[in-house]
Structure 1
Amino acid sequence: MRSVVGGVLSVVVVVAVVACSSPREPLPGLTASATVTTAQTPTPSPTIDYSDAELGIVFEDDQSLTGDEAEVYHWVATLETEYWRTLTTNTVSPKLSSIASPEIHVRMQQMADKNASIEGGHIGGVFRVQVRDVVVEGESARAVACLDYAGATFSDPNGSYTPEEAGFGGISRQELTLARVADKTWIVLTRTAAGEC
């Protein structure tokens, strides 16, 4: 037992001697100075372009939104896409029932029915949308959609019409309110014309 204790003491003495010894010359190739490393700047995730050339809708805005604001942007852009689809096909988009309130769905149905009653009527061309002023307050949000029909076409068997002649002149301002219904899912409650953008 005594020899084990003596062995432990001799190891402790060796460690103490090494720890207290004077500094040696630096080893070749090693330096005491800090090495500066530059951190890479994270690449922002790509923005989604909601434009659809086949449908004829172009979104003209900077989508530098994140988090809840980006989610609200998505649902507003989706609603405006389905609005344009309804306007150009005279059939209410099936998506509207899951992204918009019943009141908006009824108005879209009325619009589609009215347009369908114009025999040979057609709306097409390019519809431009700018979504802006997105504000989220807890479980509710609001946004503005500026709708530009300048590139849209309107016709019936009697001829073609400018957007102004068809009642779509200027850049319409739509004010939208939304409510969160689940994580990352919002529903558009109201969509109200509020003059021009």
Structure 2
Amino acid sequence: MVVGSVVLLAGCAAESSQFVGVTASPSTSASVTASPSPSPSSEVEDLSDAGLGIVFEDVPTDLTGDEADVYNTVAIYQSAYWRTMTTNTVSPVFSVIGSAEIKAIMRDTAEGNTAIDATIAGEFRTRVTDVVVDGDQATAVTCDDYEAVTFADAERSYTPAEAGFADVRRKEMTLQRVEGQDLWLVQMRTVDGTC
């Protein structure tokens, strides 16, 4: 059954990492820019992007310094993940902010979705919370809402529930500061229930 393929590929990405949202129509552009690029800003940025189809909800205004930089890295990660899901091409941003494990997960997801002609579209809503910095280590939580996301393959379209994404997924991220730089690397992401 074809729907099983969609669930497995999207599910694998979600189980080992967080699943980002979708756009109203996936970009077919072969050239994908790496913007926004990670850089320390010491204040939180709202990276909602109507063109990409990603909305960041409840963007905090009280984070500064390392906490703001970690928030922004996770937001950039979410945008890159969503771009990967909607284009079936790994975002170049992962080469800057993703560990080898994260890059492998994204590559496998893009290749798997390409193999089944998967199309993911709509509006992906996400919220980054619980940012905690402890020296050169950090964690953050994302809550990903797929209610307005559509899934399709060569056979037909699927609702989020049919594709296995009926609930708002809670994902935990672990980050590490790159030694000698003001840059954070997403080491791991895991699905941890629902929000």
Which TM-score bucket, shorter chain as reference? 0.7 to 0.9
Query: Of 87, 107, 110, which residue of structure 1 is paired with 2:108?
Result: 110
1:139 maps to what in 2? 136
2:146 maps to what in 1? 149
Greater relative contact order structure (CA < 8 Å, 6+ sep): 2
Whole-Å Cα distance in 2 between the matches of residues 77 and 130 of structure 1?
Answer: 9
1:162 maps to what in 2? 159
Name the TM-score, length of structure 2 as normaliser: 0.74
Whole-Å Cα distance in 2 between the matches of residues 48 and 131 of structure 1?
Answer: 12
2:96 maps to what in 1? 98
Whole-Å Cα distance in 2 between the matches of residues 55 and 130 of structure 1?
Answer: 16
Alpha-carbon shift at residue 61 of structure 1 (Å):
1.7
Alpha-carbon shift at residue 156 of structure 1 (Å):
2.3
Select the structure of larger CA radius of gyration. Answer: 1
For residues 166-185 of structure 1, the aligned pairs below 5 Å read 166-181=163-178, 182-185=180-183
2:73 maps to what in 1? 75
The unaligned stretches of length 5 or more in structure 1 are 1-44
* 1:130 is the counterpart of 2:127: yes
Whole-Å Cα distance in 1 between the matches of residues 95 and 181 of structure 2?
Answer: 18
3-state DSSP of counterpart to 1:165: coil
RMSD: 1.5
2:53 maps to what in 1? 56
Name the TM-score, length of structure 1 as normaliser: 0.73
Aligned AA (1:163): P
Does structure 1 conserve the Cα–Cα contact (< 8 Å) formed by 2:43 and 2:68?
no
